[in-house]
Structure 1
Amino acid sequence: MLFRINNAWIVISITCLLPLFWLLLDIMNNNLGSNPIEAIHIRSGDWALRFLCLTLAVTPLQTMTNWRGMADYRQMLGLYAFFYATLHLLGYLYVDHAGLWSMIGIDILQSTYIWFGLVAYIIIILLAITSPKVAKKRLGKYWKKLHRFIYYAAGAAIIHYFWQLKGNLFQPLFYLTIIAFLLGFRALVWFKNRQLTRLMIPKGKKITEESNDAV
């Protein structure tokens, strides 16, 4: 199993599904405004990016609070980021373009921002596929290196978001600030650990030839 199912797991999982229920409710009640297709597209993409940020925030929060139990839910948050990113992609393919691959191909060639979205999604799907413990054991030390690419996925997603907007840029700049803060925190922790490691390594004593020859 991917997770240890308990009450907290159930509550968090239901909470993570609330954006989907809210979106479905608005679709049924026709509350998506004058452009419902665009609303579906934007809301699914927003939640994919938000869950990416939440996934990245687990390690800093765990470091600051010393609550190791938070790591148990990092994988879940990452998979929900994949879930909403998949909804975002399916909305683009089958709601926005009705599955017409000729139109989709032209759109991809003409719209540079889509390439960044594809890069982000490819990374996210690789992380989702390799999230089980079996994959972690098989990849060994490469598993952690692969999963650090989540920062690249977040960066590509923000560029994808930024370039497709023509008006208010507050939200992509807000997410960019969050990602920059989380990345800066990680860099600070890495530098601190590196300095501590250097201090803990004992300096070797020089042994002269005279001391070696002494009886």
Structure 2
Amino acid sequence: MIVGKVLVHLLCLAPLAWLGWRVWQVLGGANVDALGAEPVVAIEHELGIGALRLLLITLAITPLRQISGWTTPVRFRRMLGLYAFVYASLHFAVWLALDLVGDLSQVATEIARRPFITVGFLAWLLLVPLAVTSTKGWMRRLGRNWGRLHKAIYAIAALAVLHFWWIVKSDWREPALYAGILALLLGWRVWKALERRRVTAAGARRAQHGR
């Protein structure tokens, strides 16, 4: 368990470390092209993609368990969700610090004026209560409501994909790939829910006929 946690931490932090190294190279003048022609855009993109990937990985754990019976990844689902929040928060912070140059008076205007920022901000906002209530203590306090609250991750992932899709101006292949993966993950859940309903209804009919 400890080895697994260490591995997950390392895998989640690796993209952040690689990004930090390239930022250091640019700032230090060792390689001014380490982040391409638009460094700010590159930083925001990589942080945003990191958050989106972690959200999709988190959503993939349940189908993986149901298909393969492999339960180990379930133990790390909350950790992955928290890392998704960290990446999303850094993405938001970089936008505030570098795009808006710390001008907080422009935040509400930009969120209201640009639809892709609106949906991105909403996705981050919905992530906040999930991150806050990710502890075992909150799971005990909320009981069944904890599961209901954390189903917001479906809407969050959809908003994140839409945010990415609207940002891209020409090549839509990457956002389309993530949209396709999300559609498969959500479609699997819908199919399983319908299957459970069918089994329940069949059981109820058998019970009635057996009376």
Q: TM-score, normalised by structure 1?
A: 0.89
Structure showing the higher helix proportion among its residues: 2
Instruction: State whether structure 2 residue 208 is matched by structure 1 residue 203.
Output: yes
Q: Counterpart in 1 of 2:124?
A: 121
Q: Which has the higher contact order (CA 8 A, sep 6+)?
A: 1
Identity %: 35
Aligned to 2:180, which of 174, 177, 189? 177
Q: Which whole-Å CA distance do the structure 1 matches of 2:210 and 2:191 have between them? A: 32
Aligned residue for 1:67, secondary structure, equals coil
What's the offset of the Cα at 1:184?
0.5
Deviations 1:122-172 (A, max 9, x none): 111111111111111111111111111101001111111111221211111
- In structure 1, how many angstroms separate the alpha carbons of the residues matched to 2:108 and 2:78? 33
Instruction: Give 1:18's aligned amino acid.
Output: A
* TM-score (normalizing by structure 2): 0.91
The aligned residue for residue 110 of structure 2 is 107
Match of 1:32 in 2: 35
Gaps of 5+ in 1: 207-215
Q: Which residue does the alignment assign to 2:9?
A: 13
For the pair 1:66 / 2:69, whether they are aligned, the reply is yes
SS of residue paired to 1:60: helix
Distance 1:204 1:140 in 2: 36
Q: Which runs of 4+ in 1 moved over 6 A?
A: none
After the TM superposition, which residues 110-189 of structure 1 pair with which residues of structure 2 at under 5 Å, given as runs? 110-189=113-192
Aligned-residue CA RMSD (Å): 1.4
Q: Aligned partners of 1:118, 1:104: CA distance in 2, in Å? A: 10
Residues in 1 aligned to 2:108 and 2:199: alpha-carbon distance in whole angstroms: 52
One-letter identity of the residue aligned with 1:59: T
SS at match of 1:203: helix
Which stretch of the first structure deviates more once superposed, 92-101 or 12-21? 92-101
Query: Secondary structure of 2:208's match?
Result: coil
Pairs aligned (count): 202
Task: State how far apart, in whole Å, the 2-side matches of 1:117 and 1:25 are.
Answer: 26
Q: Which has the larger radius of gyration?
A: 1
How many angstroms does 1:108 deviate by?
A: 2.1
* Counterpart Cα distance in 2 of 1:60 and 1:146: 20
